[in-house]
Amino acid sequence: MDHVHPNVAAVRQALEEAGVTTEVIVLDDAVHTAPAAAEAVGVEVGQIANSLVFAAEYADRVEPVLILTSGAHRVDTAKVAALLGAERLKRATPEFVREHTGQAIGGVAPVGHPAPVRTLIDQDLAGYPTIWAAGGVPRALFETSFEQLRVLTGATPAEVA
């Protein structure tokens, strides 16, 4: 058996523990963008659920927020900050992302983190019969559905773009 990256193993374990039957596929090459991921698995770019970590800044604290957004969208940080009641929503640094997810930017999965992260899911992903999310490293992906991903992550559906 070939070596499985610990992040991929953590994602597989999280899916298995949640009773989700899907395969985390590992591609030959990394897919660092939604268009590249969509091309690799033969779907529309909107069906790629990007897992983006942001730092929500409040008066007294900074919290991680994971936004699962359609690959066809860019997150509207002002809109989401208002939705969260935060003063500001900023793209997280690579260190912040790794600290809160245990994963590196470009391969952050919606699950398999050391501790739960507050999660929002792009409501437009509900318009697709299947969606694909990152599997913990830039060349791993898994197929799921909007509802399954929402339940799996405890995400709140939101208009994020």
The percent of residues in the chain predicted with pLDDT above 90, rounded, is: 93
Entry pTM: 0.94
CB 55 within 8 A of CB 43: no
* CA dist 141 → 28, 31, 49 (Å): 12, 9, 10
For residue range 107-145, what is the model confidence (pLDDT) as tens digits? 999 999 999 999 999 999 999 999 999 999 999 999 999
- Looking only at the bridges linking them, the beta strands covering 118-122 and 156-158 are parallel
For residue range 50-83, what is the model confidence (pLDDT) as tens digits? 999 999 999 999 999 999 999 999 999 999 999 9
Domains of the chain: 6-158 (3.90.960.10)
Cα angle for residues 135, 52, 156 (degrees, 5° grid) = 95
